[in-house]
Chains A and B, each alone.
Chain A
């Protein structure tokens, strides 16, 4: 069965640190992924998509896709308390979601 797996956390980092969030996937045919942020009681917000191997940067966020090792990650630089949320990765074709990682950024 095709799976997208995330460590549900919680992950706690101090303000200003780099938060690293990871997903692994089982389907070698998966080509592209989305990262979403979900605040409690709200719907998921798209942070960024990544369609090819390597890194993609958008502001404080960097997504990394490694097809050989079948993982996708999201780095958040200079983490802020407002980044505290659950982060979800999703595979593009089937839109399978990981379980989500709860991130807390402590002031």
Chain B
């Protein structure tokens, strides 16, 4: 398994500002993912972040809005830029272990006012 932590756990931000969410995992993993989950909805993949390469974004998500860093095998950040109330959501970091299992962090609850 993998133990994943995220910071911050929640935040309230003003429209037009940016927030960087950190994800730390207790073991080295190649594949890390960022998801968004709207209230009452399922999970939507934002991007895949593999160490040593540029993040791969899903349709509807762009790097200018959601820049991602992946400096090493245990850490990643997702920035939500120029926020609007529509960005209010839970943002989840996920990792895939060498055994092929995939785990989720506790999430960051973002509210944009």
Q: Taking beta carbons and an 8 Å cutoff, which residues of A are in contact with B?
A: 32, 34, 36, 42-46, 49, 51, 88, 90, 92, 94-100
Contact = CB atoms under 8 A, between A and B. Distances in A.
Given A43-B92, A43-B107, A95-B33, A34 B102 contact: yes
Nearest to B33: A95
Q: How large is the interface on B (under 10, 10 to 19, 20 to 34, 35 or more residues)?
A: 10 to 19
Interface string B82-113: 00000000001010000011111111000000
Main secondary structure of the interface of B (DSSP, over half): strand
Contacts of A46: 101-104
26 contacts: A32-B100, A34-B102, A43-B92, A43-B104, A43-B105, A43-B106, A43-B107, A44-B43, A44-B92, A44-B104, A45-B104, A46-B101, A46-B103, A46-B104, A49-B100, A49-B101, A51-B100, A88-B43, A95-B33, A95-B102, A96-B45, A97-B43, A97-B44, A99-B41, A99-B42, A100-B42
Interface of B: 33, 41-45, 92, 94, 100-107
B45 A95 contact: yes
